[in-house]
Structure 1
């Protein structure tokens, strides 16, 4: 027999204290009657009664403990694999709880069916979003192709507006697609060595129309040129930071600084601007879903999803985000802390 702990014995005694108390009272009554019948033989008989009672007590406790352990094991196995076989085993080992077990089993199976249905719906939703994004990107690609081939035939103002609309739609589609992926069950991250400067320039190229329209000057200072991360996830995060800087730019003489340095055992990527900045009271909430802050007319155009999705992506990529802002001087800085991975 397996070793039974003191804690298990204590629980058995506590659960059966009423009947154990009855046995103890009967022993006391028997000893009292023996003393009244034969006081001279009382001591010998009393010791025999006490020893016999202790033997019965220990045997009963060990039996009940073994039975309770067997019932607990059957219950754990049923929870792990709630099929009909383990359910019958649980019925056999817990005969006095069959009604409760049947009720619990019914509720458990209903919950499992509901979870399976929800998982199926989530998978369908994720597949629908991905298919929708793919279909929408087709006409956007056609629009880009037409713009590139007919720029000379359109006015500069029209080209600028169409470029801006195209860039914004691409960004919103990416946000929706990544939201579905971040909340979905399947995540296909590929961690590899990423060329920092190349990736940053590729992301900036996607924002060229908006940067030129806002006349934002970009300065790069990439001292650490290798990151070990998922390239698509990193590019998505960086895109949200750049989009945020463009959205809250001052309108003129706006600058955007992107740097990457190594400090001890971490690599720090910084995206800093000299835009309108963030109020101190809003800083703790900028990564919350749907939060747009007090930013005047810009608040009407904001969705409050960009930095939230960036935070979710950072969690999946095991990197940390930090945001700071000087409300008086203006400007905002977002830092991404990557761990150093030696190959």
Structure 2
């Protein structure tokens, strides 16, 4: 801060040095000033200027730090003419206050527009779900089994996209839309597997599921969404006649781990740090038009808000292992207390 103050007051220093040089020149050239000590005058001026410089540094830097720490209150005081300012400072601060007010109005307008867009999108998603449900019921009356299977598969893909959009719209308000309770893992896993049955049959993918007797404290709806995104990725990139293995274990800290492993094409090492980034499809995803780069991004963000950690191990050609680590009881207490 001192160097910044010195740079800001270089004009002062330059003027003082110029005046000192003029005085010394006059003392040297003017015979009438021979009886006066030049050194005494220089020291007096230097000491006086140093005290003045230090005083202004303490006052101005103190005001600056206070202003930066309490900017809004300072602007309010300026508006009410309660703060003693120099004419230039008043012009600067009033201009800053006007800019702040303008940006606040723009920010509020943007928030209103975003909320309206979010509400409209949410309403649209709910409207789309009604015909999707009707189509699913009508598919049961299609007699051609092969045609029905293909239609069910396409319906499932459309349903997953709508579901992604629904949860993306609700993500910013997840704190208001979650309910932490004791949840059994088994019913959630089996429900998601049954929902993707048509897709699994088409892909030739089966499941090897452990007993899954564990119970975790979480939100069942959002947990189902996380599992859905991981399972859909596993099915999408698994080879024909392969299995997806699901099991649980308890780690050394007594936290419950849910593992979902496929033997698909795997994720390249250079893509692993970025697979949870928004719209990142990766090297393999670019080869498929079905990849949106949103599934894992949404799953990761939901998991973060629920205190669940997602860890990924993968190797090209050997498949991927996704692990959900559920937080311990004390960590859940922090979640419920937010």
Task: State the TM bucket, normalised to the shorter chain.
Answer: 0.7 to 0.9
Counterpart contact for 2:265–2:316, Cα < 8 Å:
yes
Deviates more, 1:308-317 or 1:86-95: 86-95
- Report the equivalent of 1:3: none
The question of 1:262 aligning with 2:257 is answered no
Deviates more, 1:238-247 or 1:89-98: 89-98
Alpha-carbon offset, residue 301 of structure 1: 2.3
The question of 1:171 aligning with 2:160 is answered yes
The question of 1:99 aligning with 2:91 is answered yes
The question of 1:313 aligning with 2:302 is answered yes
Deviates more, 1:77-86 or 1:208-217: 77-86
- Report the equivalent of 2:284: 294
C-alpha distance in 1 between matches for 2:68 and 2:269 = 51
Render the CA deviation track for 1:28-51: whole Å, top value 9, x for unaligned.
99xx9xxx9999xx99xx99x999
The 1:164/1:38 distance shift into structure 2, 3 A limit, reads closer
Aligned residue pairs, count? 328
Q: Any idea what SS the aligned residue of 1:294 has? A: helix
The question of 1:276 aligning with 2:268 is answered no
Alpha-carbon offset, residue 281 of structure 1: 4.2
Aligned Cα RMSD in Å? Answer: 4.1
Counterpart contact for 2:212–2:248, Cα < 8 Å:
yes
The question of 1:204 aligning with 2:193 is answered yes
Matches within 5 A, 1:31-50: none
C-alpha distance in 1 between matches for 2:115 and 2:236 = 33
Alpha-carbon offset, residue 166 of structure 1: 2.6
C-alpha distance in 2 between matches for 1:132 and 1:227 = 33
Alpha-carbon offset, residue 247 of structure 1: 1.0
Alpha-carbon offset, residue 312 of structure 1: 2.4
Q: Any idea what SS the aligned residue of 2:226 has? A: helix
C-alpha distance in 2 between matches for 1:321 and 1:102 = 49
Matches within 5 A, 1:150-161: 150-151=140-141, 154-161=143-150
Q: Any idea what SS the aligned residue of 2:246 has? A: strand
Alpha-carbon offset, residue 157 of structure 1: 2.0
The 1:292/1:67 distance shift into structure 2, 3 A limit, reads closer
Alpha-carbon offset, residue 135 of structure 1: 0.7
Q: Any idea what SS the aligned residue of 2:283 has? A: coil
Q: Any idea what SS the aligned residue of 2:244 has? A: strand
Alpha-carbon offset, residue 206 of structure 1: 2.0
Alpha-carbon offset, residue 258 of structure 1: 1.2
Counterpart contact for 1:275–1:331, Cα < 8 Å:
yes
Counterpart contact for 1:324–1:333, Cα < 8 Å:
yes
The question of 1:137 aligning with 2:129 is answered yes
Counterpart contact for 1:13–1:61, Cα < 8 Å:
no
The 1:224/1:111 distance shift into structure 2, 3 A limit, reads farther
Alpha-carbon offset, residue 84 of structure 1: 5.2
Alpha-carbon offset, residue 137 of structure 1: 0.7
One of 290, 293, 296 as aligned partner of 1:304: 293
The question of 1:238 aligning with 2:227 is answered yes
- Report the equivalent of 2:182: 193
Render the CA deviation track for 1:223-269: whole Å, top value 9, x for unaligned.
561223333222111101110111112122x1111122110223322
The 1:94/1:131 distance shift into structure 2, 3 A limit, reads farther
Alpha-carbon offset, residue 13 of structure 1: 9.3
Counterpart contact for 1:270–1:334, Cα < 8 Å:
yes
The 1:94/1:264 distance shift into structure 2, 3 A limit, reads farther
Alpha-carbon offset, residue 194 of structure 1: 2.4
Unaligned runs of 5+ in 1: 1-5
The question of 1:217 aligning with 2:209 is answered no
- Report the equivalent of 2:101: 109
Unaligned runs of 5+ in 2: 334-338
C-alpha distance in 2 between matches for 1:84 and 1:282 = 50
C-alpha distance in 1 between matches for 2:161 and 2:250 = 32
